Amino acid sequence: MAPMKTAGYTFLPTSEILSAMASHSASIRADQRDPAMGNGTDTDNHTNDDSDADADGDTDRPGRPFLPPALRSESFAARRSSEWSTTTNTSSTALLAPSTSASTSSSTLPSTSFDLESAPGLFSSLRNPSARKRRLHRIRTGYFSWPLICGMFAVLVLVYTAIDHFLPDSSLLSLSGGVYTHAGQESVYAGQAQGGGSDTAPHHVAVAVGDADADPALIGVMPFKGDTTHVLVPITPIPPSLDLLRPITTRPPHRVLSTYYLDGTYHSEGSPAPQSQLDIVYLWVNSTSRFFQDALVAKAAEEHVVGARGRARRWRDNGELRPAIRSAVQHLGNALRKVHLLTGDYEFPLDEFRDRLPYEDEMEEGVEVLGWRAGQIPTWLDWDRVANANAVGAGASANGKVAWHPHSEVFRLPKDHGVLDGRLRDGTGQEEEKWREEAIPSFDSFEIESRVGWISGLSENFVLSNDDMFILSSLSASDFHHPLLGTVVRFEPSPQLLVKPVFTPDLLSTPGEWGGLQHASLLLSKRFPSRPRMYMHHMPKALTRSLVQEASVMFAEDLTKAATRAFRESRRGEGDVEIAWLVTHLGVERWREALLWSWAVAKVGGEAGEWGDGAREEVRGVLKIKAGGEGEVEDEVMVVKGKRSTLGNVAAITKRAGWGMPRKSTYTFSSMDGHLPPRPDIDIISTSCSISLSKCFAPDFLSSSTPYPAQEIFRNIAFVHPECGDCLIDALVTASGTRGLSAFLPSETDVYYPEQRDPAEWERSEPMLPLTSTWEGVDFSLNRVVRPGQDTWDGIQPAEDGAVRLREWCIKLLSRYAYTFAITPSHFAMVRTYRQLENTLASFDRREDLAMVCINDDQPDYAGEENRRVYREWTERRWGKVQATWEREWGMKRFEGKRGRRSMKRKSEQKEVGTG
């Protein structure tokens, strides 16, 4: 913006004047710094321009703004000249300065530009009395009236202070060339940098995100000075990967679990096991951020995606996140341990924002910083509280309720004790670095969700949610996970919504969800039986960390390729993968596989690994086949599933154990009763199926004396002919009685002595069947699967002779995948107009039975403020009084109490309980 002249004065852009003022401290420190670095810029917004030291003593500090190595050799003088000679803000507020004639000497301010090299000298003269005296005449006659500049500076200070005090989110006008706009409480980039927040001195934050049993992610995250919507995330050499597939520590004690799995009863000796708390994960981005938009446009061009910027509805923020978190905290109560907020972080022009970078002495020692990324945070989030609480591992304390994670933390590849999965190696040793360059930034929620297994400090049992999902009623941990019955799943059993294992070319770049769903179904059908699978309710989803990480290892190749798709419309790879749906159905299939393996390989095959005469007697007993010659036995055997009462004593057991019963969910099917039926929502009195002996086992199986490898029988009934396995499960459940799984489990005396060898890739102390993406050609034998010490937990030591107790091994394996189907009153609303939004929210208020809702914003891209107003009013009524200690002190309650003088229009723009 060129200066304007009028009435003997030149109007200069505010940015130029303030940039000159900011350079004052840099000039007086120039001789204290490394010449190769050039003169730094004082990054603190001080207002005492005539003192010998700034208020916090920062002026004379020997530190310097921390620059990544790539920028350190740049000449400061050249940079300063190029930066100051260009004015990018065409709408900055102008200040008055006396105009000069065209014949003014080079040492004075020309009428068309600001003398950049003389500006530091101008302000350094204020500290040097002799220099001040020598320049006094030139200042008064050549630059501008000194009393005037002091007066205008004082005005700026007053304006700065007034904005900082009166705006509820402390959003400040951008002073670096950007245009400030405001939408509710979320500051919006529309130019360069944005101001915001309380202007306290920056400090180093070493964020240790997680609980005591997790690997802490120490991130040298720093505040982005003058900006409440971003933090600085250092770019460092890739740190050690999170240790995947850690032992599960939330199981009930051995005696409780083994008794329940045997006969469905509760063993109450000793202290009851506490019910573990839940974490909840939210994904969020601020699409109004300049950094977000720049990254989106660049990534769309890289992947040849057209029109990415125009799809506002996909990233539009109606202020949902804030009340969504409040709803979870209020209605989950003590069941909620921690909220994990996963947000985007993006590269930004460091040279343009170097005055916002931290000083070297503020950086964590020993951390090699290669650059910086701008990590997004909601403007209402109290960063100091969140960062400090996590730094000391505050866990579930009030201040430690919210943990923050950038995308760059979780976009990692699966490594077994630091060694990249063998299927992903290309021999370069740089596989993860190259992959990360391609994968992030990401704007595809499917692929961001696929990395949640790398969230540091994530609890074993957690809930994956979106910012448009709200909890309306009080819930307990058992609404999402029961200590004995496992993860609570919510499927839609309608035949019209079955997800087929078919992926057609038209699904590769679809913006909807069915491409990700059917690709996930196809992956499952390569590893397990190929069949359509139930659609999953679009509500907060209960997951386990261990199963998410299992999926990340089992389908490493497919998920790694899919994660490079930054948009759903991308043409990269083989399609998106809907991870929550994949993981939930993976648990269903792993449970079925574990049941059949426990019976066919561990119990019947045993240490010998063969099906012989004993196996034939076992089959006769399970299928109730009377003894006789082969000709007397029909090949087709009918199986009628008996009545079960697993769920009948759940309430009594839960009460005796001191656990919480589900408050809004009705359990209708438990995996303790077998494999998931087509209608788990209906209590069917009796079902039947048939088994072909020759197809399921072998021709002349009952009359032959030929031994068969146990793992071959298992493969046949589990994968080749899955209908055999499904029917056998019904028969074995019936043989177990009305409760428990005794017919599947080896006897108490059955042991196995694994051979001594080095651990194979991904072998852990946890029992797991092979983590492969296909069943074909996989070794399912005891020798391959069972390792020493995997049968122990809860203080039970492994046998001294190396024996593994197979019953304990199988129970531990099964408990990893247990699940229960539940019906929970919930509602999914697709909203296309703000009137429809009003009616939808009103209907929610009338229904006291509702536990969870999802409000899907499908309005046109031009929809805006009316939506925010409707959301704001509704969320304020419901969650306006939640004690949100993770929010800024000047939050909604303080704003309402002290800002009553503001006009109703201003309230509508600023006061947002639900600003996301």
Give the global pTM.
0.77
Q: Which residue has the tokens 């600001």?
A: 114
Which of 127-136, 307-316, 596-605 holds the top average pLDDT?
596-605
Q: Of all residues in the chain, what percent are helix, strand and coil, respectively (each to 5)?
A: 35, 15, 45
CB neighbour list of residue 700: distance below 8 Å, 6 or more residues apart: 630, 694
- Measured CA to CA, the distance from residue 478 to residue 654 in angstroms comes to 10
Dump pLDDT digits (tens) for 539-557. 999 999 999 999 999 999 9
Residues 184 and 868: beta-carbon distance below 8 Å: yes
Q: Output the pLDDT for position 559.
A: 97
- The structure tokens 């180093």 sit at 204
Predicted confidence at residue 428, as pLDDT, reads 84
CB 267 within 8 A of CB 499: no
| Residue 136 parent element (H or E) | helix 129-138
- CA-to-CA separations, 662 to 42, 338, 699, in angstroms, rounded: 56, 20, 49
CA–CA distance, 517 with 145 (Å, rounded to integer): 70
Residue 898 has pLDDT above 80, yes or no: no
Average pLDDT over residues 185-195: 28
Average pLDDT over residues 512-521: 95
Judged against a pLDDT cut of 60, whether residue 631 lies above it is answered with no
Q: Residue 706's pLDDT is what?
A: 92
pLDDT surpassing 80 at residue 218? no
Across the chain, mean pLDDT equals 77
If we measure between CA atoms, which residue out of 606, 611, 545 comes closest to residue 579?
A: 545
Helical (H) or strand (E) element with 666: strand 666-670
Q: Which of 719, 460, 455 is nearest to 597 (CA)?
A: 719
Mean pLDDT across 862-877: 83
Other C-beta atoms within 10 Å of 866: how many? Answer: 14
Can you state the angle between helices 806-815 and 254-263, rounded to 10 degrees? 90
| Residue 355 predicted with pLDDT over 80 | yes
pLDDT the model gives residue 45: 34
CA distance 129 to 907: 49
Does residue 130 register a pLDDT over 70? Answer: no
**Residues pairing with 470 in the sheet:** 853
Q: For residue 349, is the peptide bond before it cis, meaning its omega torsion is within 30 degrees of 0? A: no
Q: Which helix (H) or strand (E) holds 374?
A: strand 371-376
> Which tokens in the block code for residue 759?
């651990």
Instruction: Determine the pLDDT at residue 475.
Output: 98
In what helix (H) or strand (E) does residue 416 lie, and over which residues does it extend? strand 415-416
* Stretch 208-217: mean pLDDT: 38
**Alpha carbon distance 852, 118 (integer Å):** 64
Indicate whether 129 pLDDT > 80. Answer: no
CB 548 within 8 A of CB 817: no
Q: What's the half-sphere exposure (Cβ side, CA atoms, 13 Å) at 220?
A: 22
Given this model, what pLDDT does residue 897 score?
A: 46
Distance separating alpha carbons of residues 857 and 830, to the nearest angstrom: 6
Are β-strands 819-823 and 666-670 bridged in parallel, bridged antiparallel, or unpaired?
antiparallel
Q: Which ranges of 191-276 would DSSP assign to H, the alpha helix?
A: 254-263
Handedness of CA 325, 327, 330, 334 (dihedral sign): negative
Query: Using an 8 Å Cβ cutoff, are 802 and 786 in contact?
Result: no
Higher pLDDT, residue 133 or 843: 843
Of the candidate ranges 361-370, 420-429, 438-447, the one whose mean pLDDT is the lowest: 361-370
Residues 669, 682: Cα–Cα separation, whole Å = 8
CA gap 344, 373 in Å, rounded: 10
* Tokens of residue 758, six digits: 């080095």
* CA dihedral over 560, 283, 568, 442, signed as positive or negative: negative
Q: What is the pLDDT of residues 450-495, one digit of tens each?
A: 999 999 999 999 999 999 999 999 999 999 999 999 999 999 999 9
- Compute the average pLDDT of residues 566-595: 96
Q: In the prediction, which pLDDT does 603 show? A: 98
Residues 741/619, Cβ–Cβ less than 8 Å:
no
Instruction: Please identify which residue in the block is written with the tokens 């940098």.
Output: 193
Please answer whether residues 156 and 150 qualify as being in contact, where contact means their C-beta atoms are separated by less than 8 angstroms: no
pLDDT-derived band at 66, boundaries 50, 70, 90? low
The CA-based angle 254-255-260, given to 5 degrees, is: 100
Q: What's the count of helices (H) and strands (E) in the chain, helices before strands?
A: 29, 32
pLDDT at 768: 97
Paired with 186 in beta bridges are 183
Stated as kind and residue range, the H or E segment containing 420 is: strand 419-420
Asked whether residue 38 carries a pLDDT value surpassing 60, the answer given is no
Tell me which residue has tokens 């907060």: 540
How many Å separate Cα 304 from the centre of its chain? 27
Task: Look at residue 350 and tell me whether its pLDDT is greater than 80.
Answer: yes
Per-residue pLDDT of 273-331, as tens digits, reads: 789 999 999 999 988 899 999 999 999 999 988 865 545 555 667 789 999 999 999 99
Instruction: Enter the tokens of residue 697.
Output: 């086992």
Tokens 């939506």: give the residue.
867
Q: In angstroms, rounded to a whole number, what is the distance separating the alpha carbons of residues 869 and 666?
A: 35
Q: 713-743 pLDDT, tens per residue?
A: 999 999 999 999 999 999 999 999 999 999 9
Contacts from 777-785 at CB under 8 Å and sequence distance 24+? 779/711, 780/597, 780/601, 780/711, 780/714, 780/715, 781/601, 781/609, 781/709, 781/710, 781/711, 782/601, 782/602, 782/605, 782/606, 782/607, 782/609, 782/752, 782/754, 783/609, 783/754, 783/755, 785/597, 785/601
Residues 6+ positions from 205 with CB-CB distance below 8 Å: 220, 221, 222, 223, 383, 384, 387, 388, 391
Alpha helices per DSSP H over 4-90: 14-28, 69-72, 76-84
Going by pLDDT thresholds of 50, 70 and 90, the confidence category of residue 617 is very high
